Amino acid sequence: PLTMTSVVAPPIKLSITASHDGGNIQLVSQTEPIISGRTAKCTVKLNIKPDVYTDFEKIAHMQYFSIRSFVSGLEDIKIFNVTYVIDNADKVSYPEAWPGTTICETSGSLEPSDDHLWKRNLSTKIVDGKLTWQHVHTTNGSTFFSYFPPYTYNRHLKLIADCASSIASERDINYKIEALGQTLQGREIECIVVGNGDKIAWVIHRQHPGETMAEFFAEGLLHRILGIGKDGDLDDITKKVLDQYRIYIVPCMCPDGAVLGHLRTNNVGANLNREWATVNPEYIAPSMERSPEVYAVLKKMDETGCDFFLDVHGDEELPYVFLSGAEKTPLWEESERLKYLHGYFVSCYQRANSDIQKAIGYPPPDSTEDALKYMNVATNQVSNRFKCLGLTLEMPYKDCETNSDPSVGWSPERSKQLGSSLVETLDSMHPYLRAEGEFWTEFSDGDHYVEPTDNFKEDGFIMLTKRFYSDVRPHDA
């Protein structure tokens, strides 16, 4: 006789992990799915894991997170609505940055070919000190949620391999890759060197490992100046710049912290952008024991010299791309030269890429005395050490207000494009970097330096007290 077998659908299962390269999260609790017809819902509570405690700043930084959420058992259930809650959002380094933040999500992979699949979750909000968002899972499989899309170490190695392959086929331009040293966990600190010119430019990225947009920027820059993806073909402006400069590019200053999913420190708690000089006699910096990344790069810079320096970062709070310089440091105060170079650079970059703006950014220190406390910051140290234009470029974690696109926000693609656009800016700057006399009389009024403010207009933003160089705001002020 014919027998009927009933098939029981497997139970819905939601698994939260952060074991992927650069992942960061701790599962606090998860409710059992409540099923009603063909829909289900549950709530997941999470905590961000802190970086290793940093002795210099006396804080265990945290804010960056990256999660893989894997769903199975949706055979009969068509809609699985999950509320994600980061319980310790009020304990992060920059809690004032959460208003206006939208987290990034993708059901694609972490491979470069899927960069375009990252979108913003517009349900993101901060409620009673907790960051929450809703996601409707309609199929089995994984979804990644991140503060900003990860730039994995495997992708970093692929970038280095692509650079090496391009360099091996190039004969007309002086290219090379060298390892400046190793991190404390044994990863190489790679530097790509390109160009035949008379000016020395250094561009470093991702001193703070959770600022992943910085390495997307590096990828955009390297792809253009090496012709990666274009069979080595270079456009005319790139060829000109490589005749003007010898460029030293470090795509990732903090690979150990990047793999660990840290926000701001390496594996022993060093915030690399506070390791460029000793400002406290009880804290010697840089050192091979705590910050070999900075030690190695600064040693090489002392060998090569430097005519232009750019340090590429991301900022949690301000929804803009902006540049911060060596304002109020001794070199800045010595003459008007650095101020005019700074203003002209920002103007030239703005003409090359409309995401750049002048008005919003970190406010400068009030005095040279205040600035001297921050001579351990890369831009200040390099500018004064080599008497050159040095700048810190900051990209937003949020949507970029100058060219708003809420559904995507600031993205890997826009970060790469901003890196590519640096080429035009370097071309414009070349005649002036070491020019003598009052060369700035050639600049238009619109090219002059504008002192920035961080008091932008956004619902929920509260001006607490002035902070410098991405310092944590003092919340007892």
Q: Which residue numbers are catalytic?
A: 394
- The packing angle between helices 213-226 and 153-168, to 10°, is 10
- Distance set, CA 130 to CA 63, 98, 309, 457 (Å): 12, 9, 39, 23
Is 306 within 8 Å of 202 (Cβ atoms)? Answer: yes
Question: 421-442 in b/e burial notation, b at 16+ Cβ within 10 A?
Answer: bbbbbbbbbbebbeeeeebbee
Q: 81: number of CA atoms within 13 Å, CB side?
A: 9
170 class by beta-carbon count within 10 Å (0-12 exposed, 13-18 middle, 19+ buried): middle
Residue 313 structure tokens:
């970062």
- Distance set, CA 82 to CA 47, 73, 228, 359 (Å): 16, 14, 41, 40
Q: 405: number of CA atoms within 13 Å, CB side?
A: 12
Backbone conformation region of residue 190, classed left if phi is above 0, alpha if psi is from -120 to 50, else beta:
beta
3-state secondary structure of 349: helix
Residue 473 structure tokens:
């705001």
The secondary structure element, H or E, covering residue 223 is helix 213-226
- Rg from Cα positions in the chain: 23
